[in-house]
Structure 1
């Protein structure tokens, strides 16, 4: 779908909500699946970047009404506007994104509390009744291309120094057996851009953007937090194991994290590679591979 600027997005919002004409509109540039606009620091409007995101936003609005009361962490009550152009909106959860630099400044107690909150959130999602979720329209998680296809798409643009590591990564992922944890309902996108975090208090207030949620392999639900810090992922895995009694395969998570970064690099435009630092993301993860 075509990328729109703030002027076009503001016009689309005002066509549906003319009472917001005097509000302050701010473009949020850190979303991968959606472009978002903050209105007066109290409303968030999200416009899908990709065609697959349209149905995801519709499903998300139905889903959050069902699962919100069952979760230990706040989630938004999203509503969907069919457009054109289509968008979703919700009241803004208090807090801001949590990125690597912000996590590095957190004291030990706040880091551990965040890991416990996110692991508890994941465990609660994984326990939800699949039948109720299917009634709300939840389906399978978007399936990745085969590792060989991901490598083939990324390889021509990779620097020569990364090609050997990327080839080995794809081969190791292709050899992985089916996920030993089976399929679960998960968020699958708990990176720092989707968190509402109170930096002053060092506390998580909520999680949003369920557009890519669905039924998928359990271990894939532990990939996104590494964009905040590998330390957070390690803490979350330990806490999740303590809560559920399940044993996680850390090598599997490390490999899939690398494959996700390779895939995002390969499918992105040159502008997106620069905007989101996708090459650096991949380079940074190579030392973490088993």
Structure 2
């Protein structure tokens, strides 16, 4: 007879350690940046690591929700001003940056708002993503330029989460799939299991590391009203790594002619890099799907599950 676990279930890994509400954010911003005192503060978005507010209709402020996010916030503040001028799409550039204080234990920052809606929210049909995909490929080609890494990568860690390592990512994907099955939103798929089993024996690509966004998925690509790229947000995982880490979006966010357009704009991708990117696409999509299913985000769930199918289908 199995003894049931004692006590309450463990807290979800995305649960906030320090949640900031709009009124507290307004007070913190006014205290550190008097020129913004009295500006309206509205909740804009929530992720695993940050709570985001729109201030005065023009500025977006990010407050960490978990201690693990603090190092990423510090990297954003340090790196984004250096890389932004070299990229063909808008990215947030910190204009207001505050260190820890007695009122809030972690740094936070604000940047000019980039208008747009998440790809995961818009969900254009796959056949309508070709122009967008080409823009993403050109963006990644610029971001992954070795010259940019040489000029702006000082102090960045090397792939701290092992996202370019297919064996690491495969091992971390199986529990996500089990959770999706328990949640009733995914059925076990032999082809997917076989792909992940094969990935357990693959080595990480051994190319020269470049600056990568680090977490480029369907929530972090913004679209304009015409369905074209408006910007790339949420750089908390920026680091040095193999380009496969960002190329995951080619396999989770695009298929068919759209994926071909992205890769044509980006340049050649060797087989080991493609394999690593595909496994990471499955991992990120499964993670997003689990979070979406657990927190009632229907559009994100649909897009994340579609991303798993895209990555699996080739």
Shared fold (TM-score greater than 0.5)? yes
Question: Residue 104 of structure 1: SS of its match in structure 2?
Answer: coil
Shift of 1:198: 2.7
Distance 2:187 2:130 in 1: 34
Taking the TM superposition and a 5 Å limit, the aligned residue runs for 1:29-178 are 29-78=45-94, 79-84=96-101, 85=104, 86-93=107-114, 95-100=115-120, 102=122, 104=124, 111-129=129-147, 130-135=149-154, 137-144=155-162, 146-147=168-169, 149-151=171-173, 153-154=175-176, 157-159=179-181, 162-163=187-188, 165=190, 167-178=193-204
Question: Residue 80 of structure 1: SS of its match in structure 2?
Answer: strand
Q: Give unpaired runs (5+ residues) of structure 2.
A: 1-16
Distance 1:156 1:115 in 2: 31
Question: Residue 223 of structure 1: SS of its match in structure 2?
Answer: helix
Distance 1:285 1:91 in 2: 30
Question: Residue 215 of structure 1: SS of its match in structure 2?
Answer: strand
Q: Quick check: 1:6 aligned with 2:4?
A: no
Q: Provide the residue aligned with 2:42 in structure 1.
A: 26
CA contact (8 A) 1:100 1:229 kept: no
CA contact (8 A) 2:292 2:298 kept: no
CA contact (8 A) 1:191 1:225 kept: no
CA contact (8 A) 1:44 1:89 kept: yes
Per-residue CA deviation, residues 160-212 of structure 1 (Å, 9 max, x unaligned), is 66345464453132122322645322113334543454315x54343333221
Distance 1:151 1:73 in 2: 31
CA contact (8 A) 2:222 2:229 kept: yes
Q: Provide the residue aligned with 2:283 in structure 1.
A: 259
* TM-score under structure 1 length normalisation: 0.78
Distance 1:61 1:217 in 2: 22
Per-residue CA deviation, residues 245-269 of structure 1 (Å, 9 max, x unaligned), is 4446555433321122334567x59
Distance 1:107 1:157 in 2: 30
**Count of residues in correspondence between the two structures:** 280
CA contact (8 A) 1:169 1:258 kept: no
Q: Quick check: 1:287 aligned with 2:309?
A: yes
Q: Which moved more, 1:220-229 or 1:208-217?
A: 220-229
* TM-score under structure 2 length normalisation: 0.72
Q: Provide the residue aligned with 1:213 in structure 2.
A: 238
Q: Which moved more, 1:53-62 or 1:158-167?
A: 158-167
Shift of 1:121: 1.5
Distance 2:221 2:302 in 1: 22
